[in-house]
Structure 1
Amino acid sequence: MTNVLLDAHLNAKLADFAGSSLDGSPLLVVVTKSHRRPGDTCCVEADISAFASTLYTIVTGQSPYHDLSDYKIDERFVHGSFPQTDSLGPLGKLISRCWRDEYPDSKSVCKEIQGMC
């Protein structure tokens, strides 16, 4: 996870937006498989799913599917077979819901996170 940096106060800062698209044009970079679901990478659902994978990595210390090949990772995402998050409590439930596209937008994800505090 090289795109999330910490400042002196341990606040997370996002870096490396080379894969960003402001106008919907195709990405010119390859997204890490464990954080990219198959299909369109320039949509809200893809961003929310990548956010969930980042949270999973922070909480568990390992990327989702860390022990699988890229092909197997794609296969798991396509079939909706995600890593177990039950032991992660409310945050695990949030991660799972993000992977399953149960949030219509990022505001809904933020509202859920705020409710945990």
Structure 2
Amino acid sequence: MTFTDDDPGTFDIDFRVDVMCRTRSNALCLSAGGYMAFYPTRMPFHHRSANLGDSDPFGALVAEARKLDMHVMARVDPHAIHADAAEAHPEWLARDEHGEPIEHDSMPGSTGPTPSAPN
């Protein structure tokens, strides 16, 4: 399951647990973080979902999956980075052959200027 930023505000754990039961799932691969955290975190540069509030959808689903004796895998998606993290840690950025940051198509502006095309 892949969380999006608005999922913590509309998260229906009973529905998701019902789906896992009806499909006889034996494993859960779930968004844990990367660009955005779906659980409470104080880790520097690991931005929490704006809709997280006091909730912990990642932790709640992990707990329910374990009650069902399921294997749980945490998915970390490093495809993009917030500007403050890019500025503080430029070594975290993917770079092109010219050493320029590679901007991800789904997150324009997330890693700085778009690299210019080679001549």
Taking structure 1 as the reference length, the TM-score comes to: 0.22
More strand per residue: 2
Taking structure 2 as the reference length, the TM-score comes to: 0.21
* Structure exhibiting the larger radius of gyration computed from Cα positions: 2
